[in-house]
Amino acid sequence: MKEEFELIAKTFQGLEEVLAKELTELGASNIEIGRRMVAFMGDKEMMYKANFCLRTAIRILKPIKHFEAKNADEVYEAIKTIAWENFLDKDKSFAVDAVVFSNEFRHSKFVAYKVKDAIVDYFREKTGERPSVRINHPDVALNIHIAEDKCTLSLDSSGESLHRRGYRQEAVEAPLNEVLAAGMILMTGWKGECDLIDPMCGSGTIPIEAALIARNIAPGVFRKEFAFEKWNDFDQELFDRIYNDDSQEREFTHKIFGYDNNPKANEIATHNVKAAGLSKEIILKIQPFQQFEQPKEKSIIITNPPYGERISTNDLLGLYQMIGERLKHSFTGNDAWVLSYREECFDQIGLKPSIKIPLFNGSLECEFRKYQLFDGKFKEFRSENADREFKPRREEIRPRRNTEKVEYGERREHRSFDNRREGHGEYKGGERRERRSFDDKRERRGDFKRGEHRNFGDKREGRDNFKSSPRKFDDNKEKTEE
């Protein structure tokens, strides 16, 4: 029987339900939703899969100690009781990230320093030597989370935030976070059943994430490394098997269209799409929304227009008025989903939404609204589509308590974390096999194994040799994660 242990998947506020569904489909057990996180149980294989496959997770944590502390000295003493030789040695580096919601602990950096001191003192007293602290790319990343006096120390199995897929070469100003983009697409229920359009696509994040979903390509395939690859118990063979398995990937028979009126954005999006190897699925074009025309095929729009916060526009309200006009006159018979921030912007669209979902884009409390565009009178449309829902509703994301159970699809027995370790059966995934050649599926893919970087455009030699351009922007980092 494989050992199962507690795991925590962090995400953005509003994406908890989507992440829980992803975990259920992945085969995780005892799923419990919290605030900006989903707790679950799994073995080492599940931990690797969670990092590699989840689209709406920011990072995967493996708790190693729960304790209570009322001050920094108590934190220090609790950390020193851990047998750190199981996780670290003097030749490895480590870093500590602290997240604190407490009246007793007002400075997260001070908490991180106390954890660091406890680890260093543990090794000095045991061996006379100490591991080094490295802020960037440490061998072992640790996370200390404090809510009032409840403390959890975890190993960070992801390292760099999972939203950094690895395909993005450049970005426009204020790019949409990849995790949020994937969450938005999954919320619509779209998985490739029709064409998808982003008429204001910027650097191409929504089209690329949509193509990955449509093809069911794991987002982790582009990543250079995960933190767990440096752990003492890393199972190279197991991870290679996960990495090289494409049995769940599928064909996509429709198209994804990305439009933008900015030539520079189009150029950046083209580079990103090529780096992701998705040029056959995604069609990019320089085109202002004012010129949007009724698509010939059944389609869905998912878009993130400017809010007037990080990206300024001369006539913000006029922009949203134009969006509403184009949707009403050139997108009849289809559904459109719009993420935005200001109520007055939504008012200018002039259409009645059928769904309103609160979502955070960075620190901005936004809404993701669905518009059902119909041809003719609304009453006639309702009578012809009596099985569809039209009453506008606001989808509130309410974190569940630990005593509540989450069910998606097949029912699962709920147990608390206290008795989770007892009676768990072995996780059984589908049979794994050696990675197939893509020659029979698409011309631009070749036969490769992990260790050969999956750059589908030019098939670079070696995942470790893949180098993206320096990032010139600040993607939502730890403060927006917690």
**C-alpha 274: how far from its chain's center?**
21
For residue 246, pLDDT over 50 is answered with yes
Give the list of residues 6+ apart from residue 423 with CB closer than 8 angstroms, or none: none
Dump the DSSP string for 319-379. Answer: HHHHHHHHHHHH-TTSEEEEEES-HHHHHHH----SEEEEEEETTEEEEEEEEE--SS-HH
Answer whether 159's CB lies under 8 Å from 265's CB: no
Instruction: In the chain, count H helices and then E strands.
Output: 12, 16
The count of C-alpha atoms lying within 13 angstroms of the C-alpha of 439, restricted to the half-sphere facing its C-beta, is: 4
* Residue 60 one-letter amino acid: I
Q: What pLDDT is attached to residue 376?
A: 60
- Express each pLDDT in 294-330 by its tens digit: 999 999 999 999 886 544 566 888 999 999 999 999 9
How far apart CA 130 and CA 84 sit, in angstroms, is: 11
Q: What pLDDT is attached to residue 475?
A: 38
Write out the two tokens for 117: 């001191």
Write out the two tokens for 212: 């990955």
Q: Which residues pair with 368 in a beta bridge?
A: 339, 357
Domain coordinates of the chain in residue numbers? 178-219+248-394
Answer whether 46's CB lies under 8 Å from 428's CB: no
Answer whether 116's CB lies under 8 Å from 77's CB: no
How far apart CA 137 and CA 133 sit, in angstroms, is: 10
- Express each pLDDT in 56-87 by its tens digit: 999 999 999 999 999 999 999 999 999 999 99
Which of 129-138, 259-268, 405-414, 453-462 is predicted most confidently? 259-268
How far apart CA 480 and CA 463 sit, in angstroms, is: 29
- Express each pLDDT in 333-360 by its tens digit: 999 999 998 899 999 999 999 999 999 9
Distances (CA, A) of 327 to 293, 333, 352, 396: 9, 10, 12, 26
Q: What pLDDT is attached to residue 380?
A: 56
Longest Cα separation, the chain:
81
- Express each pLDDT in 158-200 by its tens digit: 999 999 998 988 776 768 999 999 999 999 999 999 999 999 9
For residue 127, pLDDT over 60 is answered with yes
**C-alpha 173: how far from its chain's center?**
20
The owner of tokens 């893509």 is 438
What is the per-residue burial (b if ≥16 Cβ within 10 Å, else e) of 32-62?
Answer: bbeebbbbbbbbbbbbbbbbbbbbbbbbbbb
For residue 285, pLDDT over 50 is answered with yes
Name the pairing type of β-strands 256-260 and 195-198.
Answer: parallel
Segment 133-146 shows an average pLDDT of 90
* The CATH number fitting domain 178-219+248-394, selected from 3.10.129.10, 3.40.50.150, 3.10.180.10, 3.30.70.240: 3.40.50.150
